[in-house]
Amino acid sequence: MAKVDSYTSTAKWLHWGMALLWLGAWCIGMLATHWREELNAQHELTFLHKAMASTLLFLVVARIAWRLTHPAPALPKKMSLTMKRGALVGHILLYVVALVGLPVSGWYWSSVADKQIMVAGLFVLPPLVAPDKDLYDLAKWVHTYTAWLCGALVGGHVLVALKHHFIDGDDVLTGMLPGNDARKA
């Protein structure tokens, strides 16, 4: 693949749009479960959470397709090989756990609970499995703890981006900001 100096505008919009959607769904999910009686007695927040999170499943397909056909710019030359490998592993974890695993675990939980998921309020996702009361607690546990793991992954991603900007003084963070078209090596 050819060497590129910057992320495409599409890559940036997918990154930031999905980040906002993911963060919104994550926060709403936390509110809906931890303050269920006070804030979610009629399950409005749950509906919104599912509509947002399920949309990510479709956007991640577009994002991966875009990424495979439009390579990312090279990381700064001054980064060690260990840090570059860490960046690769971190990004793979974000895709696999936060963008695929978390929404799929919620879909599974809804399926065993016999609850529908409306994608962006437009259409219903088919259930992944038949309803099964015996799997409800396990599905809830997996989704809940995956959500907390994802919160840590996303928090780490933000901290590393800020480290690049404020401590390392490179342009890894600014290279993903809209309006910035070039990254320095």
Closest by CA position to 73, among listed 153, 171, 178, 159: 171
Mean pLDDT of the chain: 92
State how many domains the chain has.
1
pLDDT at 91: 95
In a domain, 4, yes or no: no
Q: Provide the residue type at 41 as one letter.
A: A
- Which DSSP category does 55 fall into? H
| Confidence (pLDDT) at 46 | 94
pLDDT tens, per residue, the chain with 185 residues: 556 778 999 999 999 999 999 999 999 999 998 888 888 888 999 999 999 999 999 999 999 999 999 999 999 999 999 999 999 999 999 999 999 999 999 999 999 999 999 998 899 999 999 999 999 999 999 999 999 999 999 999 999 999 999 999 998 999 999 887 655 43
On whether residue 134 sits in a domain, the answer given is yes
The string of pLDDT tens digits covering residues 48-102 is 999 999 999 999 999 999 999 999 999 999 999 999 999 999 999 999 999 999 9
Distance CA 85, CA 161 (A): 15
What six digits make up the tokens of 72? 């990312």
Domain span at residue 166?
Answer: 9-176
pLDDT score recorded for residue 185: 39
Residue with tokens 């479709």: 58
139 assigned to some structural domain: yes
45: nearest Cα among 26, 17, 19: 26
Tell whether 126 is covered by a domain: yes
Q: Is residue 1 part of a domain?
A: no
- Dihedral Cα 109, 111, 114, 117, nearest 10 deg: 90
182 located within any domain: no
Give the pLDDT of residue 127: 97
* Helix 44-69 with 9-34: angle, nearest 10 deg: 150
